Structures are given as structure tokens and as C-alpha cells.
Amino acid sequence: MNGEDSVATGRSSAFVVTAKKRKIQQITRKIGESALFLVAATVAIIVIFIFFFVARDAVPFFEIRGFREFFTSSDWYPADDPPRFGAWAIIYGSLMVTAGSALIAVPMGIAAAICLSDVIPFSVRQYVKPVIEMLAAIPSVAFGFFALVILAPLLQNYGGPILMWTWWIIASPFLLLAVIVLSELVSMSIQDDKHRKIAQRMYVSFFGLIALILLFFVGNNLQKIEIMTGTNALNVSIILSFMALPTIVSVSEDALQAVGRDLREGSYALGATRAETIIKIILPAASSGILAAVILGIMRSLGETMVVWMASGNASHIPDPWFNYLESVRTLTATIAGDMGEADQVTGSARFHVLFAMGLLLLVISFISNFISERIVVRQRKILSGQ
């Protein structure tokens, strides 16, 4: 007994922490935990506060003017007497430039991401990816200045030829592909090998001629277009797509990398080519991550203010026809930035609160999109971990 006791006391002096020390440890742990919790909670509370205060100033507008005018009319004359607050054209403008930038940035971004993760050598990728991500570091006012001073006059002076060459560059590969696939399909039913080859060649030249005529005809008509104003939806869409690209490329490249070597090697082991592996294995596996990247990129376009304020022309009307990207538009963000100075509480209440209504609308849209992309990312994690 005695011997054991002495061993126990020996241990206690060496390893067992005294009650006082334990207390101090517990307290410091509590302090550390609560400090971290406080920081995390502050961030969450800030978001809730922003939402609350924007909503608080937005609600009076709907109390004064109702919902109908804001969402259905396109008469935006906040400074006139009597004022009119029809924001439909402005909401439409926001959607239009966002859709336009997505049309450019999404295919380019995903293609660049695939190229980075699966096509070019790893050592090259290490250099290229940071360069693409650099795009995100350029301040938006610099993009806006570029849009206003360089791109807008360029579109006005050489709009037709630019459109024609863009059409040629984009349409040629697709038409080539279509011609080959079509002629294969049409000549498939011919049994005899020799005859099929001849028929195929004839079909290729026939469809090829049609494609060429189409290329020339559309290109020629595009060349005749004279862009009256360079500060238009097209200009803004192009610039916004540049700004959304780094987000889309970076996040979808991460998603493609996350697919892992095992799936790729399994696919190669089964004899699939690289193209088959990319299209049939990697893209489907990474699809939800890519979708999340796309939503993040679109949110970047929707929320951008400076570029749109400088380069969209800010005409609050729905273009005629509705898909005419060559007319100037006005967006929610630009309207908030542009009308803020005048719209003080002291000078006109509806005019002040309508800007908050627009801010609330933007907040709601971005919350919904964030929520969706969050869900998608969670789902992808579950799929990849095999649950």
C-alpha cells in the first residue's frame, strides 16, 4: 500500500494537473471559445442587420406607392412632379446585362476551367491560373473606364465588322461540326462502303455550301449594322463577363480537381479517350460544383455597379425589340448609385425609399442564389463522398 501510494503521489506531481491549474485552463478555453463564437456571430448579425435596415427603409415605399407601379410600369421619373417610380425597365435592364454576361462568361469560363484542370500540363497551369485570378483584382472603375473610353467608341466606329468577325469565329467551328455530323447521319443508311464514302463526300460539300452561304449571309447583314451608341447592353455584358470570369474559372476548376484521380484513371483504364473522360465522366461528376461557380459568377454581374453606371448609358427603357443588346439600358445598381445624392430623407420620402426597395430586391435575389448554390455544393460533397 505504502509503495503504491508513493507512486501515486509521484505521478500526481508530474502529470496530474492541480485543481487551480485546471480551473485556469477551463476559463481560458471558455474565453477562447466565446471570443471565436462572438466573431462568427458578429458576421452573421451584420448580414441580418443589413437585411433588416434595408428592409426597414424599403417597406415605407411600398406603403406609399404600392407594389403594382414598381413592378409593372416602366415610367421612371423620380424627380418629376408628380413623380413616377416604375422600375420594370430597370429590373429588366439588370436581368438583361446579367444574362448577356452569363452567355459570354459561362461557356468561356467552363472551357477555360476544363483546359486548366485536364488539358494543359500541371506546370503551365500553376502559372496560368493566378493570371486569370488577377482579373478579379482589377478595380471595377478601371473596367468602367475601359468600357467608356475604349470599348464604346470601338463599338460605334467598327461595330458592324466586329459583330461580323465575332459571328465568323463563333459560328464556323459549330457549323463545321454540324456539317460533318449531318452528312454522317444522312449517309448512314447506305450499306455499301464505297458508295457510302462517295455519298458522304457529296453530302459534306452540299451541307458545307449551305453553311458557307449562311455564314456569309448573316455576316454580311451583321456588318451592315451601325451601332448608334457604344454605351449599351452589349458593352456592359462584355465587360461584366470579364469580371465574372475569374470567379467562374477558379471555382469550377476547383470542382474539376475535386473529382480526383481515381475516376479519371478508371475511365482511362476502360479505354476511354481524354475527350470521352472529360465529357462523360469528369463534367457530370463536377456538375454541381460548376453550377455553383456559375451562380457565383452571375451574382458578381448582377451586383456590379461602377461599370454599369459608367458604360450602360443609363436609359431607363426596355430596348426595342426586347433582345436588342445594342441599345442602352439602366440597371438597379446603377440607379441606386446615381440617384442616391438627391434622394435624401428631407427632400422626398418615396424617392428615398424607392432606392431601398431596389436594394432589397437585389438582396433577395442574391440571398436566393446564394442559398441555391450552397445547397448544390452540399449535395456535391455528399455525392463525391459516396453517400
Q: Which residues bind another protein (CB under 8 A)?
A: 74-81, 84, 89, 141, 148-149, 152-153, 156, 228-231, 309-310, 313-317, 327-328, 330, 337-342, 344, 346-348
CA dist 332 and 316 (Å) reads: 10
Cβ distance to another protein smaller for residue 29 or 84: 84
Taking the complex as a whole, the smallest distance from the CB of residue 257 to another protein amounts, in Å, to: 39
Q: What count of Cα atoms within 13 Å lies in the side-chain half-sphere of residue 315?
A: 15
Residue of 306, 148, 166, 299 lying closest to 232 (CA atoms): 148
Cβ distance to another protein smaller for residue 45 or 141: 141
| Residue 239: alpha-carbon gap to chain centroid | 13
Cβ distance to another protein smaller for residue 231 or 237: 231
Taking the complex as a whole, the smallest distance from the CB of residue 378 to another protein amounts, in Å, to: 36
Q: How many CB atoms lie within 10 A of CB 114?
A: 20
Taking the complex as a whole, the smallest distance from the CB of residue 271 to another protein amounts, in Å, to: 58
In single-letter form, the type of residue at position 212 comes to L
Cβ distance to another protein smaller for residue 317 or 379: 317
CA dist 200 and 303 (Å) reads: 51
Distance in Å from the first CA to the final CA of the chain: 55
Cβ distance to another protein smaller for residue 162 or 249: 162
Cβ distance to another protein smaller for residue 182 or 315: 315
Cβ distance to another protein smaller for residue 79 or 138: 79
Which residues, other chains included, contact 369 with Cβ-Cβ below 8 Å and sequence gap of 6+? Answer: 295, 298, 299
Taking the complex as a whole, the smallest distance from the CB of residue 377 to another protein amounts, in Å, to: 33
Taking the complex as a whole, the smallest distance from the CB of residue 129 to another protein amounts, in Å, to: 32
Cβ distance to another protein smaller for residue 171 or 315: 315
Cβ distance to another protein smaller for residue 41 or 50: 50
DSSP state of 120: S
Taking the complex as a whole, the smallest distance from the CB of residue 288 to another protein amounts, in Å, to: 37
Q: Which three cell numbers stand for residue 19?
A: 485543481
CA dist 91 and 335 (Å) reads: 10
CA dist 188 and 196 (Å) reads: 7
Taking the complex as a whole, the smallest distance from the CB of residue 89 to another protein amounts, in Å, to: 7
Taking the complex as a whole, the smallest distance from the CB of residue 230 to another protein amounts, in Å, to: 7
Cβ distance to another protein smaller for residue 3 or 82: 82
CA dist 338 and 355 (Å) reads: 10
Taking the complex as a whole, the smallest distance from the CB of residue 114 to another protein amounts, in Å, to: 38
CA dist 206 and 26 (Å) reads: 83
Q: Which three cell numbers stand for residue 270?
A: 476502360
Instruction: Give CA torsion, residues 253, 254, 258, 261, to 10 deg.
Output: 50
Taking the complex as a whole, the smallest distance from the CB of residue 314 to another protein amounts, in Å, to: 4
CA dist 42 and 35 (Å) reads: 10
CA dist 311 and 326 (Å) reads: 12
Helices (H), the chain: 2-14, 19-65, 68-72, 88-114, 122-134, 140-146, 152-187, 193-224, 233-258, 261-269, 274-276, 283-303, 306-311, 332-339, 349-384
